[in-house]
Chain A
Amino acid sequence: MQMPDLDFGKYAAYIWPAYLITALVFAGLIAGALRHARHWKRRAEGLRRP
């Protein structure tokens, strides 16, 4: 199997930002989903306690 080649030559200025933005958007979606779920789980469990 060929090893990954990370030398993108003259296109590096387009390829790396595309991957960076993808990583950032996914990080935001993951963090947002987990924060939303954890926040409301704590609130729901806090209100249920006597």
Chain B
Amino acid sequence: MIPAPAFLANPERFMAFSRWAAPLLGVIAVGLAAVGLWLGFAAPEDYQQGATVRIMFIHVPAAILAMFVYVCLGVASLLALVFRHVLADAAAQAAAPLGAGLTFLALVTGSLWGRPMWGAWWVWDARLTSVLVLFLFYIAYLALRASIDDEAKAARAAAILALVGLVNLPIVHFSVYWWNTLHQGSSMFTRGALAPVFATPLYLMTLAYLAGFGSLWLVRIRGEVWRRRAEAAALRAARA
């Protein structure tokens, strides 16, 4: 049997952990973002892209997090399906709106970067299209959960949908290599592809987004735990 993470196995332990971890991650996110933005705005203009290189510091972290959050959604959904653990299901449910928001940001900031660089707001490029599909998976997940009254059935159906959507992640990542795309290849994970003056704020902003997501995810999971407790208490009161 695959051992679930300890904090996922015990709601009380999770609530005690997240009570201090959520605000701490929030403070770390704000600090990293402040330094990252300062360095990003102080960086010189790129010799090819000019001042639009500043959009990279908010676009690339959003795109990376859009995929990372979907991995979290997929893993939590798998744990919820296999172990039928309520905290794993709450984690999946809590990740979806955050992932949808980050994917929306990746699409919009990418469009605002693409217009001056490519001359188009949108092209049906493999990377852009696969990220749009990722966004649609998030929306479909949220819509499916909202459309089924039975919570257990909704959780199972949405978890299966989330697992199907995992197939799209390698397509998003490798799209720039598999197809001839307008979108540039990965520069963040390629050694020497970015000058330190651009790489440092980019890494800081990515860590800020990661910490921010961690904080908001914990807050949303806590909200889900309370919602389930409130609904269970209301049901008990109605039966009494």
Contacts and interface: CB of A to CB of B under 8 A. Distances in A.
Contacts, number: 99
Nearest to A5: B41
A38 B212 CA distance: 18
A14 B52 contact: yes
B220 A21 contact: no
Interface in A1-50: 1-6, 8-9, 11-12, 14-15, 17-19, 21-22, 25-26, 28-30, 32-34, 36-41, 43-44, 47-48
Interface in B107-154: 108-109, 112-113, 115-116
Contacts of A5: 41-42
Contacts of B224: 40
A5 B109 CA distance: 20
A1 B101 CA distance: 34
Interface of A: 1-6, 8-9, 11-12, 14-15, 17-19, 21-22, 25-26, 28-30, 32-34, 36-41, 43-44, 47-48
10 contacts: A8-B54, A11-B50, A15-B54, A17-B112, A18-B108, A33-B219, A33-B223, A36-B220, A36-B223, A37-B226
B55 interface: yes
A22 B62 contact: yes
A33 B216 contact: yes
Contacts of B54: 8, 15
A11 B52 contact: yes
Contact of B108 (A2, A6, A21, A37): A21
Contacts of A47: 230, 233-234, 237
A3 B50 contact: no
Contacts of B230: 40, 43-44, 47
Contacts of A48: 229, 233
